[in-house]
């Protein structure tokens, strides 16, 4: 099993050292994990920090990239022989202007895997309780869909990431605000989205954090996973979005089952930003062991 979305305590909203997550991953029976610290660079949204050895460091500082890379690579060396692959990744917060805001360290670091995420609408985090409504109040449901998916489409054009994260994140707080109709928000946008994903060779992730928040479905929900497969998208990763070691691997089996039932040949694995589909047969052998 894989978990390709993990926040160690470099992320200011996460707890647990890289080492703690590796130990938890082994315990959960995972074979491959990718650390994906938040790379938030929207100065208006004011979350542009990471923690490095207990100190808050500006995201633009080159120091943290070096520290982060060497810590993850050291963990990789240490855990490889114990059957755990540890990958260096990052979760880039995408917003209009992100390309200019990304620090030089982003481009000079040799990542295995990069997630692109849209958390912000008009600099407001729609993933944050109490803040999301601030953004929602400005838009009708239809307008929200247009706004959100246009940011996603523009982000893909930047060609800076491998998979799109949680592409229906607006459901987390949007369901309470807009009602059940929010579940169909993706429909008018899916064709254009998948066309762009195919042309730019961008995949998507199935994010299981929603299952820990009492939601019925991962992000995106099963109908979207299926629709993306129907549209010829082949690259999909799975991630718990763990912000503490005990979250690692949670819901991954459910997500894999959904991906399998939706017709995918397997989840993708990454090395130095090159993806490979890992066939289901490899997961069967894993189960029999
Ligand atoms: Zn995210
Ligand atoms: Zn995340």
Give the pLDDT confidence of 194-222 residue by residue, as tens digits: 999 999 999 999 999 999 999 999 999 99
d(CA 93, CA 44): 13
CA of residue 37 to ligand 1 center, whole Å: 10
Is residue 284 pLDDT above 80, yes or no?
no
Average of per-residue pLDDT values in the chain: 95
Q: What is the pLDDT of residues 54-78, one digit of tens each?
A: 899 999 998 999 999 999 999 999 9
Q: Minimum-distance ligand to the CA of 34? A: 2
Please state the pTM of the whole predicted model: 0.96
> Measuring CA to CA, which residue among 119, 24, 133, 147 is closest to residue 75?
24
CA of residue 288 to ligand 1 center, whole Å: 33
Give the mean pLDDT of 131-144. Answer: 95
d(CA 60, CA 48): 8
Q: Minimum-distance ligand to the CA of 127? A: 1
CA of residue 181 to ligand 1 center, whole Å: 23
CA of residue 285 to ligand 1 center, whole Å: 31
Question: Ligand 1 is a single-atom ion; what residues have CB below 5 A from it?
Answer: 117, 165
Is residue 93 pLDDT above 60, yes or no?
yes
CA of residue 92 to ligand 2 center, whole Å: 9
Is residue 289 pLDDT above 60, yes or no?
no
Is residue 128 pLDDT above 60, yes or no?
yes
Backbone angles phi, psi at 69, to 5 degrees: -60, -45
d(CA 166, CA 155): 14
Give 285's pLDDT tier (boundaries 50, 70, 90): low
Residue 288: the pLDDT is 47
Give 286's pLDDT tier (boundaries 50, 70, 90): low
CA of residue 119 to ligand 1 center, whole Å: 6
Residue 283: the pLDDT is 82
CA of residue 152 to ligand 1 center, whole Å: 13
Q: Minimum-distance ligand to the CA of 119? A: 1
% of the chain at pLDDT higher than 70: 98
Q: What DSSP designation does 139 have?
A: S
CA of residue 167 to ligand 1 center, whole Å: 9
Architecture of domain 2-288 in this structure = Alpha-Beta Barrel (3.20)
Q: What is the pLDDT of residues 167-189, one digit of tens each?
A: 999 999 999 999 999 999 999 99
Is residue 245 pLDDT above 90, yes or no?
yes
Give the mean pLDDT of 86-94. Answer: 98
CA of residue 233 to ligand 1 center, whole Å: 21
d(CA 93, CA 114): 11
CA of residue 165 to ligand 1 center, whole Å: 6
Q: Minimum-distance ligand to the CA of 239? A: 2
């Amino acid at each position: 099993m894989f978990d390709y979305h993990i926040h160690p305590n470099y992320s200011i909203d996460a707890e647990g050292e890289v080492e703690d997550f590796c130990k938890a991953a082994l315990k959960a029976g995972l074979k491959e994990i990718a650390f994906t610290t938040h790379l938030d660079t929207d100065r208006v949204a004011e979350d542009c920090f990471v923690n490095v050895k207990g100190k808050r460091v500006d995201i633009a500082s080159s120091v943290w990239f070096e520290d982060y890379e060497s810590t993850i690579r050291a963990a990789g060396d240490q855990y490889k022989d114990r059957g755990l692959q540890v990958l260096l990744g990052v979760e880039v917060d995408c917003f209009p202007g992100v390309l200019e805001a990304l620090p030089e360290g982003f481009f000079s670091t040799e990542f295995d895997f990069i997630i692109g995420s849209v958390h912000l609408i008009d600099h407001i985090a729609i993933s944050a309780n109490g803040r999301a409504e601030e953004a929602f109040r400005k838009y009708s449901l239809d307008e929200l869909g247009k706004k959100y998916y246009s940011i996603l489409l523009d982000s893909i054009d930047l060609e800076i990431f491998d998979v799109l994260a949680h592409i229906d994140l607006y459901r987390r707080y949007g369901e309470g605000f807009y009602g059940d109709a929010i579940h169909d928000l993706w429909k008018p946008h899916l064709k254009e989205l998948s066309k762009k994903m195919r042309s730019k060779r961008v995949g998507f992730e199935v994010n299981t954090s929603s299952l820990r928040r009492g939601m019925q479905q991962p992000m995106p929900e099963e109908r979207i996973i299926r629709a993306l497969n129907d549209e010829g998208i082949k690259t999909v990763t799975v991630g718990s979005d763990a912000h503490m070691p005990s979250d690692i691997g949670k819901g991954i089996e459910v997500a894999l089952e959904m991906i399998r039932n939706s017709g995918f040949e397997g989840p993708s694995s990454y090395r130095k930003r090159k993806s490979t589909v890992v066939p289901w047969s490899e997961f069967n052998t894993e189960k029999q062991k």
